[in-house]
Chain A
């Protein structure tokens, strides 16, 4: 009853092609952005920032990048941890080796290096497909693991193998409170999310989806596989690289190569599968699910009064995570995003029966 397009007529092409054609959606997004940028920094505790919101934002960005590659272009990639690592280490190197390098430029530089790395390790996709490609991308993951721990120039000759980002600041604005870090991540997520949304609505995005659906047919009608696949790898690893740099600089502060291990790649893949492949919203849902689940799992037994040792709590968490993944895949293979759009469809009629 409230969520209808009744009476909303578009009078220009621009209005017809906007991302949120329904006015209620636009209002909702405005409210959410207002809450996110203004209300949350003033009212939420530091712990919530550090444990929930900042990891959510950075993982959402990384999941967004991966969704472009896997969900929109159909190239299964298990090397995301490596792309994040490249972004993080490249940004770190730019930050420490160049005097007075602005933070945003080093983040972008990290993204660009990750883009180059992604394109190089995306070259096999021109020849290999499907599960073979998935395992081939593992080569990127293990290669980067090795490079980060064996090549001294990656860590700027750090003796312990771990690096730490120093004080973050943009212009004169020093970013040291969790609320400011949250705003930085939120800003980057909004900008890159908007870019990604527009990219997937454009011809490039349609090329990607054509490659995903049937690449032979796509090349028959004139879509060049090289450009489509490599651009997907490039854009995806750019975004993932920036997410990796943020993960290291903002969330971790100091990190060693194990922070971007194979586990991370699997986690991101989980996020986009549960959230919904081929959906920008889905990446956000998946990241939220992934960040909130361990918190729920640690707090619920506490509330119910069941004592659990930390070791068995971790194992039970593993088990519940695995079981939930299988459950979600059986019940809704298109993920939470599909559940959300089904709900919106039902909302168009509510409370009327037809």
Chain B
């Protein structure tokens, strides 16, 4: 199936866009053809989002040309882009949680048509039509806030199609989906291709992107690195072009320090409705992976250990001493640190300095008896974290906003480490993180483990688990059903066991 001879729907030619003095896009071109999926890849901050914003009319380029179906566009506005059939499905879906599925699907086309009145009945009929065409099953009257992530995404796709989309841009569509749901999404993508829709697929999950795409465009630091056919690329060459260097993603682990008493010992931990009879140990210097489907109870186990929602029964021992964890204060006292989902991308005060951010979570350690901060000890900790994490910044005084994605994520980790945790629990540490920064985070985790910390990584990214974990626990329906160790830790074993 070669559709490359078909006339392109959109041609972006030599686009340049600067913010202040920074070149976000420098001479970038891209061609979208009907029925093709175009993979747009690059590290965080490489200019992908800027390019999407230009295609969707949210931003205007400084120079360069945009052709839509052969016609040169003057000034493209958001509404103009929608009317031309360009739809963006944002990572957060941009749905209205308080409105029904039917309303969400039809409301943007109503806005585009400049309608004055709204008929719930007609909206339901229009929405149902699209849902049927795609062969989906969605409850039209359900409020979007009550839907699962994958249903929300399908709602967003249907909404794009109601507007008669010729181009659909999907920004990180698979980040929040499970394996089965990703497969389902790809079926829908196939049906969209058959309708002659051109798709842009933005993803950090390179295998998936290659599997679903026909064309590839790679950006790095706003530069257009390469464009070509997806079949001419593989994971390695893609990674090479994206990062501009050789990236090591292979398994690299060091044996933990085996002591009589493990660092953390969990026995028969149970919380009704979430998980039951969970037992495991973590030794010093060990990285333990916990994986399972969304809703399997993996997050709940971590939250119980951190005291967010404590377990009903079971025992937790740290260094052989039983501890009671009923609250976050309890867990912090015994030295457990927790990084919630998405925090690597969200948990920072962007306009505050690197130093202020590093110290933000551990201010209590630097109080004198009157409650004032001891500036010497604050400065020492900041300096220690700054060097230990090898943060690349002119100084600890620059705002976090000015850092690259990978360095900002080090600051988040530094914030946690400044509390000197003995056990560090990370929930989805590299969700939405590009391939280069991911490698750096994983090597940072290895360093901390080598310094004697016990680390628990909760993730559904199997390659990442394989890369750093000594052992991997599989959680299904709130129970630990399997434990992989040594040479058994492989991507295929993990994926088979989680979905079994």
A and B interact: no
B binding-site residues for A, Cβ under 8 Å: none
A binding-site residues for B, Cβ under 8 Å: none
